Chains A and B, each alone.
Chain A
């Protein structure tokens, strides 16, 4: 690290910013799949709003990361011209809106899966953004303050549906439970520390997520209790999406998201 860099303002590690940004972008893209296909009109709009919030968060983080990268990097080059192995999002973010299936088999989207993922993730990010407001990276702290307000609403929305579906009919209860059973193991990735996260935490620019684990556990336990849902005990394989080791699903998400930009590089509209 050169002297000029050391004297400059403190900034979070690039890979840490990309981790936060990729989480938001990939989940935003996934949730946007509901646009025009939501279970009811009002909920369709609500989910599109959530996606736009997430994509907005991703843009701010990519812009910050692009400034740090220099050499012509832009928010668009980060979003559209990196391949799956360069994405740093949690594997949880890229999974389709349905239960486990082999390969790329098509299935009807399942709103319980959507709600379970949004709940588990927004419950985490409410705590992470709150902590990141004190980041030594001033730009990241400002992004965190803005994102926290949005995330509070996402959590409220997802938690509300989690309880309604969990404590609803026999059908909605069983589908909500199945979605949780499917997704909960992927949350194990929240609590392992990647090299980027370790560097961010030690420089005071990032958060060690293990410090919010207890609060997240309480939030999840209270909501599941209210929803009369059983909490699955995660175990087995711990995903490493945030280190670039993804499921087979991410490439398909990226193909759809990046196809146009790659077909017409530099196009403006």
Chain B
């Protein structure tokens, strides 16, 4: 097990592409700590001007849904089309929504 403890932990990387937009998940990387993860994210994921802000989050802190829960989690929403706000008449002045 000693080899496992020597491995750098995994981090998830989120990039904001420009001011006003939300941070979006763009990938993951290995780093020893948060500061290093941030620098490595800069080097790995913003080489082509992809961003103006970076978040890194330890992957272990993310609680994810299980693939086998897919049926009970997501499929019940499949036939509830009335939840989409697509039954309103939009006044022309509002324009594209």
User: Smallest CB-CB separation from A49: which chain B residue?
Assistant: B43
Contact B32 A42 (CB under 8 A): no
A-B CB contacts (within 8 Å), total count: 29
Alpha-carbon gap, A192 to B8, bound state (A): 43
Contact of A46 among B8, B35, B40 (CB under 8 A): B40
The reply to whether A49 and B47 form a contact with Cβ atoms under 8 Å apart is yes
Q: How far is the CA of A171 from the CA of B32 in the complex (A)?
A: 17
Q: Are A157 and B39 in contact (CB under 8 A)?
A: yes
Interface mask (A34-58 → B, CB under 8 Å = 1, otherwise 0):
0000001111011001000000000
Distance from A53 Cβ to chain B, minimum over Cβ atoms (Å)? 11
Which residue on chain A has the smallest CB distance to residue B8? A40
Interface pair A43/B35, CB less than 8 Å apart: no
Q: Say if the beta carbon of B29 comes within 8 Å of chain A.
A: yes
Q: Which chain A residue shows the least CB distance to B29?
A: A42
Residues in B with CB closer than 8 Å to A49 are: 43, 47
| Range for the number of chain B residues in contact with chain A | 10 to 19
B29: which A residues are within 8 A, CB to CB? 41-42
Give A156 to B43 CA distance when docked, in angstroms.
12
B79 to chain A, nearest CB (A): 45
| Docked complex Cα distance between A46 and B29 (Å) | 13
Distance between Cα atoms of A207 and B30 in the complex (Å): 41
Secondary structure of the A contact surface, majority rule: helix
Q: How many residues of A contact B (CB 8 A)?
A: 12
Residue B52 is within 8 A (CB to CB) of chain A in the complex: no
Q: Is A10 an interface residue (CB 8 A)?
A: no
A164 to B, closest residue via Cβ: B32
Q: Is the CB of B43 within 8 A of A42?
A: yes
Q: Please tell me if A75 contacts chain B, counting CB pairs below 8 Å.
A: no
**Chain B positions within 8 Å of A157 at CB level:** 39
* Chain B window 29-67, contacts with chain A (Cβ cutoff 8 Å), 1 for yes, 0 for no: 111100110011011100100000000000000000000
A33 interface hit (Cβ, 8 Å):
no
Query: A40, A42, A153: which has the most chain B beta carbons within 10 Å?
Result: A42
Binding site for A on B (CB under 8 A): 8, 29-32, 35-36, 39-40, 42-44, 47
Shortest Cβ-Cβ A-B pairs, 7 listed: A46-B43, A42-B40, A42-B29, A45-B44, A45-B43, A49-B43, A42-B44
